[in-house]
């Protein structure tokens, strides 16, 4: 049995698959900020989805930095105490470290979008996740680009000397304006509760700056927006569209809303395991 886990900032999703093509069982629960509690909830969910079967391989998606060539955790945003620890520490059942892969959560979601989602026909895909955090990845030929760590488009500066970001410490990065955390701080409400067009116009204009930078640096054939805030795509898309077409240099790629929902990360985990096993 294969397991794919998405340790999101707000919710944790745990899925199993027998063939890496179809989903066997899925469990989800609110992510707990205490690592000890989260570990317990995680292992309970694993027991439910594997139903007593042996685990062949596990993929874990995490928000934060990933070193693909190390076998220990790097800077995981929610659980700094994991830094430097071996992957096995997450599990109560014995799983050899060689059968565990850790990947950035946005990278996994982007991989799934490029293989199964709305971007399945494009060679170069930029995936941006607008969720509790703001992440993203460049996928080329249905592979996560082979860089040492991971892309962090959420921490590109979009407003010089702007708001200070709680994650990176920089001023004016995309995360400090467009993440769910920032949205709540700036507008005093959850993105899902917001119906104010002024707010969404502002959001769309800032997204246009991000998109222009992504196009300039990554040259994607399509851009996919995922994560919970992307479900409000129709609210910010008009202002984003208008701002994007104030320039005339770039041919803007299609900008699409993810249709896979919040399980694209776990699907991406199964896709990555499949790629590792076939390489």
The answer to whether 102 and 96 are in contact (CB under 8 A) is no
Identity of the residue, 23 or 159, whose beta carbon is nearer to Zn ion in the bound complex: 159
Closest distance to Zn ion from the beta carbon of 169 (Å): 7
Closest distance to Zn ion from the beta carbon of 129 (Å): 14
The rounded distance, in Å, linking the Cα atoms of 57 and 100 is: 6
Closest distance to Zn ion from the beta carbon of 175 (Å): 4
Identity of the residue, 128 or 272, whose beta carbon is nearer to Zn ion in the bound complex: 128
Which DSSP string do the residues of 184-228 spell out, in sequence order? HHHHSS-GGG---HHHHHHHHHHHHHHHHHHHHHH--SEEEEESG
Closest distance to Zn ion from the beta carbon of 167 (Å): 5
Closest-CA residue to 172 (of 206, 123, 125, 195): 206
Q: Which residue do the tokens 């240099």 mark? A: 249
Identity of the residue, 23 or 157, whose beta carbon is nearer to Zn ion in the bound complex: 157
Interface with Zn ion (CB under 5 A) = 155, 165, 168, 170, 173, 175
Closest distance to Zn ion from the beta carbon of 78 (Å): 16
The rounded distance, in Å, linking the Cα atoms of 120 and 108 is: 14
Identity of the residue, 11 or 170, whose beta carbon is nearer to Zn ion in the bound complex: 170
Crossing angle, helix 197-218 and helix 233-244, to 10 degrees?
60
Identity of the residue, 41 or 168, whose beta carbon is nearer to Zn ion in the bound complex: 168
Exposed/middle/buried for residue 229 (C-beta within 10 Å: 0-12, 13-18, 19+): buried
Closest distance to Zn ion from the beta carbon of 176 (Å): 6
Closest-CA residue to 134 (of 92, 191, 71, 57): 191
Joined tokens for residue 267: 């699907």
Identity of the residue, 176 or 274, whose beta carbon is nearer to Zn ion in the bound complex: 176
Identity of the residue, 115 or 175, whose beta carbon is nearer to Zn ion in the bound complex: 175
The rounded distance, in Å, linking the Cα atoms of 21 and 19 is: 5
Closest distance to Zn ion from the beta carbon of 66 (Å): 17
Give every CB contact of residue 33 below 8 A, 6+ residues apart in sequence: 78
Q: If residue 33 lies in a helix (H) or strand (E), which one and from where to where?
A: none
């Amino acid at each position: 049995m294969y397991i794919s886990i998405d340790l999101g900032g707000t919710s944790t999703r745990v899925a199993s698959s027998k063939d890496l093509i179809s989903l066997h069982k899925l469990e989800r629960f609110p992510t707990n900020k205490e690592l000890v509690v989260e570990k317990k909830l995680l292992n309970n969910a694993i027991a439910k989805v594997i139903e007593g079967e042996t685990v062949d391989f596990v993929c874990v998606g995490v928000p934060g930095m990933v070193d693909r060539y190390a076998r220990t955790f790097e800077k995981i945003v929610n659980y700094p105490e994991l830094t430097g620890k071996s992957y096995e520490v997450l599990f109560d059942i014995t799983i050899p470290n060689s059968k565990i892969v850790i990947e950035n959560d946005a990278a996994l979601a982007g991989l799934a979008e490029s293989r199964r989602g709305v971007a399945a026909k494009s060679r170069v895909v930029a995936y941006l996740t607008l969720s509790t955090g703001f992440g993203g990845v460049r996928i080329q030929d249905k592979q996560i680009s082979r860089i040492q760590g991971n892309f962090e488009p959420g921490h590109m500066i979009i407003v010089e000397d702007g708001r200070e970001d709680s994650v990176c410490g920089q001023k004016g990065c995309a995360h400090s304006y467009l993440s769910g955390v920032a949205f709540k701080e700036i507008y005093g409400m959850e993105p899902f509760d917001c119906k104010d067009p002024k707010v969404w116009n502002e959001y769309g204009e800032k997204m246009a700056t991000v998109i222009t930078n992504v196009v300039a640096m990554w040259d994607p054939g399509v851009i996919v927006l995922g994560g919970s805030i992307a479900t409000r795509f129709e609210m910010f898309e008009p202002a984003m569209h208008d701002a994007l077409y104030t320039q005339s240099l770039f041919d803007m790629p299609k900008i699409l809303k993810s249709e896979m929902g919040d399980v694209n990360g776990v699907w991406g985990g199964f896709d990555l395991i499949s790629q590792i096993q076939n390489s």
